[in-house]
Amino acid sequence: MSQKRLLLCCDMDRTVIPNGAQPEPGGSRELLADFCARPEVTLAYVTGRDRALAAEAIESFALPMPDYAITDVGTVLYRVQGGEWIESPEWMQHIAADWPGCVHEDVAHWLNDLAGLKLQEPDKQNTYKVSFYAENASPVLQLDVESRLQRHGLHANVIVSLDESSGTGLVDILPARANKYHAVRFLQQLLDYSDQEVIFAGDSGNDLEVLVSPIPSILVGNATDAIRREATQQSEAAQTSDRLFLAKANYAGGVLEGLQHFYDHV
């Protein structure tokens, strides 16, 4: 890449936040913050955290303040300016088209009798995100949830995952377009960046759709072997292998390593 401007989109947990088991390269977050402070760099965090938890992590881990934040598993887009987080109504309108005439309470009601599901706390919900705890976070559960929602004509993205720190199963139900890839694309188009002016960095399964897309992407070194294999296989199948960089360094060190690969001005 030879252009000067850059939209850098980073996952937070275990990508720029060193909260995994692997060690963090010394000074890497400080170097990344210096890079993001350049006037030609626009930083966006892309995270499953809500606004409060994202802001808490920025302070706790001395992360650079972003210009934009895609939070709540892709259901909310903020412009961050002068310490204010300003929600994008355009993004909300965009994803609302998948749930016409439907509200959060409808989705919760349709699923409340499924065995093993328990609605998460109110602060983990929003207008277009319905989140449950699950006793058994399995592909069978995902199919059951998807089947019920389809019967109600809902275009939904059902994400079944495991909170590694607690071993708790999680189920997030979002509009079909409310995911990291579509949110990054929306922000890219909103700001009028080409694919060659965007770089994404992530570490886990919910980053895969971006990692194997035409957007230049960095998989940090602390990603699991299974994710590295899956990302490699999917990018080869999609013929986007040249857009995927497998970093050796962990966390922010891996992001910096990928920036050196893709970007001429590190």
pLDDT digits (tens, 9 = 90+) for 112-132: 889 889 999 998 899 999 999
pLDDT of 3 reads 52
Contact 115, 210 (CB under 8 A): no
Length of the chain: 266
Contact 250, 22 (CB under 8 A): yes
Contact 209, 181 (CB under 8 A): yes
What CATH number does the domain located at 100-175 have?
3.90.1070.10
Residues 30-48: b if buried by 16+ CB within 10 A, e if exposed: ebbbebbeeeebbbbbbbb
* 199, 190, 72, 23: CA torsion to nearest 10: 20
Contact 76, 49 (CB under 8 A): no
User: 130-176: per-residue pLDDT in tens?
Assistant: 999 998 888 888 999 999 999 998 999 998 887 766 788 889 999 99
Ordered alpha helix ranges (H), 97-218: 104-111, 139-151, 180-191, 208-211
Of the pLDDT bands very low, low, confident and very high (cuts 50, 70, 90), residue 43 is very high
Q: Do domains 6-93+178-262 and 100-175 have the same CATH topology?
A: no
Distance of alpha carbon 14 from alpha carbon 122, whole angstroms: 25
pTM of the model: 0.91
In the DSSP assignment, the letter for residue 55 is H
Mean pLDDT of 240-265: 95
Contact 196, 10 (CB under 8 A): no
Topology (CATH) of 6-93+178-262: Rossmann fold (3.40.50)
HSE, side-chain direction, 13 A CA sphere, residue 189: 8
Domain ranges of the chain: 6-93+178-262, 100-175
